[in-house]
Chain A
Amino acid sequence: MSELIAIRGVRHAYRTKAGPLPVLDGLDLSVAEGGFAAVVGPSGCGKSTLTKLIAGLMKPDEGEVWLHGEPVRGPRATVGMAFQNPVMLEWRTILQNVMLPLEIVPTRLSRSEQQERARYLLALVGLEGFEDKRPSELSGGMRQRASLCRALVHQPEVLILDEPFGALDAFTREDLWQTLHDVKEAEPFTGVLITHDLRESIFLADQVVVLSGRPAHTQYVLDVGLSGPRDLEHLYTPGATAMLHDLRHQIEIAQGRAPEEPAAPSAA
């Protein structure tokens, strides 16, 4: 399989009032076509910046971001995104929300084919019968499912998930893990998942990338040794426990680079 996402030596700093704030410094990432990478790291280490770089919403100060052998110069229709906050347009039905990207991205599908595709995706994530509901009528987990459909409706090559399950309760989260595996089977994509949950990372991804504390570089890459759907039981095997232990250790190293997180900004 060929390399679909390639990030090499990326450096980036935000300009703030107090001077430049470096967030990324020597970040490398390589995801094969159809692969699924999870990115973990201490909070505030620049994980969300990474998603913006891949999506073409930002340009790095230095380094290269490649998608499919082409340098990323701006947003492109081959990327789908889902966020922790599954923002829905409250004035539209769920079906209309899912179809939103098709109004932006050029598509060969007719109006009825678009509807059909949206309905198919909603059924895939278990939201059959909710097509005509308003977002306000859905629970957090259901909204996240719908947001997943919206991210995939235009058949993107790359799916970027920025802590999509972070705000959900543990059981709903596990349900959605399974759903995500099912969706990937039916609608193959190359995935990048930002997460704080180590169990989530080894359950969903085939490689886990640990970023160091800010400014972040690629500190460690773990090969999960699995791809495609797996059983929740997998998380309770000695192999999984060893991987979690390994990752936990790496996170501690990452945090250790800045032993004390600066306390909340003072009132001054």
Chain B
Amino acid sequence: MTDLSAPDAAPVARPVWLKRLTSRAVVAPLAAVVVFLALWEALVRINNWPNYVMASPSDLPAAYARYWQLFLVMGWQTLWRTVVGLVLAVVVGIAIGMVMGFSRTMRDALYPLLVGFNAIPKATVVPIVALLFVGMHDFNTVLIAFMISFFPIAVSVSIGLSTLEPEYRDILRSLGASRTAIFWKIALPKTLPEFFGALKVAVTLAFIGTNLMEIVSPHGRGLGALFDSAKTNSDYPLMFAVLIALAALGILLYYVVVALEKTFAGWAERDHH
């Protein structure tokens, strides 16, 4: 081991990656997580709660160390099925949003149906879907993730398209542009900020959908199944470890969406100075 206390040589310019890692955008959320974990730990210790009431963060590393292979395998199962469900929700949501955004009649016709569908608790749909497609566990899980998350996307796209200022259309229409050209050049890019707002909501919803199916159905796949088996075995630290793993996956996917938003709709962000 080298002597860590040895004084540094003359100060050198910090490399870019180091600057980025110590920037506010990285440090602030990390600090918030640390504070949150500390408060959680303190809450459990002060109340002297046993594990079956609430496990504390210090119990979790042991759970992760013991079951890390399961976490990798099942975490991946949960992640890919959520992402596939989301992609489906994006495709179908945009399609429905376009139909409702461009046609007044379709908007009037479809809105009550959509709202009604969305009002049905998806937990009640899970057994129906499970029976409908018995044995097709991956498909069922993706389906529930999709059903729970397409609504905000469809609504945001339809609102974005139907509230397009008429001048935007007229600029191109007066030149003889087709509807398709107006959609690609104006309507679609103009709707992107609303779309990404909805996508951020949809990401977390899709995880709820995936886990609903995983917890209820007896196929033993995904983090939801791991949670369920931890519950059966009264392994309380494992249950909390699964919850934290789910939170981590949710955050990961959220930041993927943020990165996409920066790339495709970065123009909507204005400097505040």
Chain A residues with a Cβ under 8 A of chain B: 52, 55-57, 74-77, 79, 81, 83, 85, 87, 89-91, 100-101, 103-105, 134, 136, 150, 154
Chain B residues with a Cβ under 8 A of chain A: 165, 167-168, 170-177, 181, 185-186, 189-190, 192, 265, 267-268, 270
**A-B residue pairs in contact (CB < 8 Å), sample of 11:** A56-B174, A57-B170, A57-B174, A81-B171, A83-B170, A87-B165, A89-B185, A91-B267, A101-B171, A104-B177, A105-B176
> In the complex, which residues of chain B have a beta carbon less than 8 angstroms from the beta carbon of A100?
171-172, 185
B contact face: mostly helix, strand, loop, or mixed: helix
Whether the Cβ atoms of A75 and B185 lie closer than 8 Å is: no
Whether the Cβ atoms of B170 and A81 lie closer than 8 Å is: yes
Whether the Cβ atoms of A104 and B181 lie closer than 8 Å is: yes
Among B165, B171, B174, max chain A CB count under 10 A is at B174
Whether the Cβ atoms of B175 and A104 lie closer than 8 Å is: yes
> In the complex, which residues of chain B have a beta carbon less than 8 angstroms from the beta carbon of A83?
167, 170
Distance in angstroms from B169 CB to nearest chain A CB is 9
- Identify the closest chain B residue to A87 (Cβ): B167
Partner of B176, one of A76, A87, A89, A91: A76
Distance in angstroms from A149 CB to nearest chain B CB is 13
**A81 and B174 contact, Cβ closer than 8 Å, known pairs A90-B268, A136-B270:** yes
Bound state CA distance, A219 and B10, in angstroms? 86
Bound state CA distance, A103 and B182, in angstroms? 11
User: Besides A90-B268, A104-B177, 8 other CB < 8 A contacts?
Assistant: A55-B170, A83-B167, A89-B190, A90-B190, A104-B172, A104-B176, A136-B270, A154-B175
7 closest Cβ pairs, A-B complex: A91-B267, A75-B176, A55-B174, A87-B167, A104-B175, A104-B177, A83-B167
> In the complex, which residues of chain B have a beta carbon less than 8 angstroms from the beta carbon of A79?
174-175
> In the complex, which residues of chain A have a beta carbon less than 8 angstroms from the beta carbon of B165?
85, 87
Bound state CA distance, A100 and B174, in angstroms? 13
Partner of B167, one of A76, A85, A91, A103: A85
